[in-house]
């Protein structure tokens, strides 16, 4: 069973994908997921924070992701793009979320919703984003391991 925060990420992914494809108003999307009996139990405030944050910081997120893409940003699969935007939002703007959690959650979403190799692509981009934007946290973890 997934945690309410993991489910918030899952619902935020679905909502962000919907927003990307339709441009629908965020309030309408919030209400739609809130009313849907099929929506898993999720942390509502975190879902809203992720979705609003990703949309609000879209330009910064896309620029950060674009640095590490091997294909043009516009050619990234829409599901992968939504996964990367949410993961990048957590890495860049939610320092209280450990970088490994942000990466692992993104990989899990890519495995669940993306194509067969999406998780490997997402892992590669997220790892590079973490190295650039969370280098102090990564170095501290490495130092802790080596003693």
Tell me the C-alpha to C-alpha distance, in Å, between residue 142 and each of 67, 137, 145.
Answer: 25, 9, 5
Contact between 13 and 82 under an 8 Å Cβ cutoff? The reply is yes
- In total, how many domains does the chain have? 1
Which CATH number belongs to the domain containing residue 107 in this structure? 1.10.940.10
pTM over 0.85: yes
Confidence of residue 147 (pLDDT cuts 50, 70, 90): low
- Residue range 57-81: mean pLDDT, rounded: 94
Quick one: pLDDT band at residue 140, thresholds 50, 70, 90? confident
Parent domain of 16 = 4-146
């Amino acid at each position: 069973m997934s945690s309410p925060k993991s489910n918030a990420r899952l619902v935020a992914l679905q909502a962000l994908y919907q927003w990307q494809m339709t441009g629908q108003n965020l309030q309408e999307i919030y209400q739609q997921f809130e009313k849907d009996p099929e929506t898993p139990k999720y942390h509502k405030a975190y879902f809203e924070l992720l979705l609003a944050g990703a949309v609000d910081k879209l330009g910064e997120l896309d620029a950060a992701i674009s640095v590490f893409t091997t294909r043009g940003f516009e050619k990234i699969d829409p599901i992968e793009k939504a996964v990367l935007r949410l993961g990048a939002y957590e890495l860049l703007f939610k320092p209280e979320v450990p970088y490994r959690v942000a990466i692992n959650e993104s990989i899990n979403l890519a495995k669940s919703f993306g194509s067969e190799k999406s998780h490997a692509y997402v892992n590669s981009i997220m790892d590079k984003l973490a190295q650039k934007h969370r280098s102090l946290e990564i170095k501290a973890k490495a130092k802790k391991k080596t003693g």
